[in-house]
Amino acid sequence: MGLGTDGLRRRRPARDRPRQLAPARRARGSRPRAAAARQAHGRHRGRARGRDDRDDAQARGRRVVSAGSVEVEAGSVAYVARFEGELDLASVPALQREALAATVGAKRVVLDLSEVTWMDSTGLRMLDDLTRAFGARGAQVRIVAPPDVPARFTLDISAWRPELVVGRMSEALDG
């Protein structure tokens, strides 16, 4: 291709394409989705997920699971540490420190897992560390985990110290 004698560029003659072109682009919009995904898609309606979701869930009457908490109460028979929420890598270190600090001088400690909604191997490790620490202090330990809670399932499948695990608070305080 170059310039012709008249100084204008020459063009190749138009000819048929050797193959078909790719199909034309679809109109802009969302891609087709399965029925279940269509219902779930757009739940946040364009807003970012964040703290407001917790408030929204509570306003709609849904249960909001906390990252985990512990409340220690000094009773006449034993110190009772009530754990709630999730016992996982994010929450265990702080909960373990709180439980140890609040039970200094206790001769009997009951770890109540009745309100625990999730427990992984980190939670098991925390229980192991706590029972060792309480044992070193000379304190007796019992763990309350009713048969229908997730923590009991984790304790059962791992066969974790069944002699320490009881189903009701009354059993832990009696024996």
Give the pLDDT of residue 4: 64
Q: Kindly list the structural domains of the chain, giving each domain's residue range(s) and its CATH number in brackets, ordered by start.
A: 75-174 (3.30.750.24)
Residue 141 has pLDDT above 60, yes or no: yes
Tokens of 72: 């220690």
Q: What is the pLDDT of residues 61-115, one digit of tens each?
A: 555 555 789 999 998 899 999 999 999 999 999 999 999 999 999 999 999 999 9
With H, G, I as helix, E, B as strand and everything else as coil, classify residue 36: helix
Supply φ then ψ for residue 149, to 5 degrees. Answer: -100, 150
Q: What is the pLDDT of residues 19-68, one digit of tens each?
A: 777 777 766 666 666 655 555 555 544 455 554 555 555 556 555 555 78
